[in-house]
Structure 1
Amino acid sequence: MGLRFRKSIRICKGMKLNFGKTGVGVSFGTRGLHYTVHSSGRRTASVGIPGTGISYVSSSGGGRSKRRRVGAGVKAQRAIQVQQQKEEEYSRNCEMVDDFNELLDMIRSIHEECSETIDWISLKNKPEPFNNMLPGPREEEALRSLHDAKPGFIGKLIPATHNNKIKKLNDAVLAAREEDKQVYDDWENMKKLATQVLSGEIDSYFYVVSEMHPFDEILDYGSDFNIGTDIPNILEVEFHAKTDKVVPNHVLEITKTGKLSSKKMTKTMHYDIAQDYICSCVLRTAREVFALLPIESVVIHVVDKVQPIIGDEYDDTVLSVLIDRKRFEQISFSGIDASDTIEMFKCNMNFKKTGGLKPVKRVEF
């Protein structure tokens, strides 16, 4: 807003021609209220005081047009930056949701991976690496190097250098002999262990499990394992599922505006994922046991926290299953529903959609 004086010539009713130092303009309007278009491009709306030639005006365009065009460019650039930031934020949010969904898929498909099967029969029948009554292959090679060692020009000139070389070659023979002995001992011990395992010696089962750590990958999800048995060809496994540490209690989603939303997971969904997780761990455990040991059956008990209607939560058996190798090896584990697959076997499992897994008795075997 401002004050100014001006001269004007009336062209017709409601229209005037205005003269100024910077150009000519045309005004439209009635007494006391005008709208002016100047030759410079400036547009002016004015409210006049009748009889004085004085008016309050508000202008746009004209001399300010160039500055406003620059301002518009800055605004456009800022708008692009804001849009880019929104797109980057949306991309990050989508990535977080994808990672979250991948986690859910992972804890429901633990059974799809497994260690390589140990062929105990081949290990038992593997021939000895060499005749133990004769030098081994490494020692033989070291002996040849020692035998072929002849003093060169320097050795003849300085006998001590040749003697030092001979000493090193003799040491190499002794080291090679120890390496051959280790290879032979390893073969002998593996053959003995394979014989014990195939004959059903229970102590050999425990030794193999302690050495091979078959459940390490499952432990990454938070489960604790105990094994035991009194019966050859059957191994009993107990593990604590710890679903409260593994299964999330929220879900991540993208809103319509592209924002990341974290909502509390419904109990029904949580219970369903927890059941699949536990059953997937059972199948993976059975796969690892059968890959490791030539036994006929494995009994698996799952312990997890149970929330009673009244009182504090406590640990109890929520799943117990007897899995036989013959039927188990007929399963194609890719893409199966772990919870449905478990029910193919002798199984005690009490699952409620609105209450989750409930305590059960352990299967008898």
Structure 2
Amino acid sequence: MAFRFQRRIKIAPGLRLNISKGGVSVSAGPRGASVTAGKRGLFASVGLPGTGLSYRQRLFASDNSHQSNIRAASTQTTTVRFTADEDGNCSLIRADGSLLSDAEVKIVRRQHGDTIRQALEELCNSRNELLAELGQFHLSTPEPTTAPQYERQPFPSAQPHLTTVQKVLALIWPPFNRRQEQLHQQWRQGNQAWEAAEQHRHETETRLVFTSTTAIEETLSRYLSEIDWPKSPDISFDLGTNISTIALDLQLPNEDEMPDKEWTLPTRQYRLTPKALSATKRRQLYRDYVHAIAFRVVGEVFARLPTIEFVSISGYRERTNPATGGLEDEYILSALTTRKRWSEIELSKLRSIEPTESMQLFELRRNMTGTGVFKPIVPFAAGELEAFQSSQSNAV
């Protein structure tokens, strides 16, 4: 059984799967809130971390009694931003980066303290979300299947429609009419391209994935890129020529990339208070996340790739060699499993499953203490995966 070297595949804007030593990477925008002042009044906007969504709430109208306050707060800009630094200290700043004066801050807090507190609570929760997500990342692991189900994704942009006023305007003003026709044409072209892509995806995921290595690569790449990773790993894989075997390597984060604090919101203060996590707690978080990553990736393979029967998965992290000062790979986890063994795990009871324990159901190499201190191991090599496949096939 030979393994094929796979090429680098671009899977989404800003995301890449490097089939040699790169991988999936996910980036997110800044978390927090903003306060915007304008002709119609002062508004607060609070982002919902991890969703790309936000809500906007009017704070007060722009009447004569408040005009001087808004003008003082905006000072030749239209936006006042609400920020919180890594220590939890919160500030109101203008778009040009300058801080509001103490008097301006008091005005905003006095008039709109409840909205700011709500924004602070959202921010506090978002900073603590990662702590909960790390050890529960496996909860979205899909069920294994040999009959993949295609779910059509609708075109994300609604077809433009003109209001009655716009229709009249289009009749009497040719430039406006041409612009509307151009927008409709762009929508139609985008919709056609989307439908073509969906048709390709349907063909790829329901038929070609049974026979084509390219379809297998494309399908796995797509689903890995769509995962909302708390701390995104780099993933590479090699596919066996008989498309029943896959070997995956995960470049894991290091322990120092785990959260080092949790946050609370004091009752009468406009700031967040950090509490340092113990070294033991951080190691436990790291232990849980490392195993949850491996568990989830194996689950994605057996759910999306119906021909795969044998999986090798190994996780490594980069360490500095004290002798040379250079970076080198340090493997801390390696496992071999089969679709049959994986199907023995009752994924309908994911909340009762501990990936750290589940990995022991496989052929496992791991040198770890109970609190999550890992020591280097030698991962399973391609020849060992081949021997494992042969022994399992003979056993059947």
Find the structure with the greater CA-based Rg: 1
TM-score (norm 2): 0.45
More contact order relative to length (CA 8 Å, sep ≥ 6): 2
TM-score (norm 1): 0.48
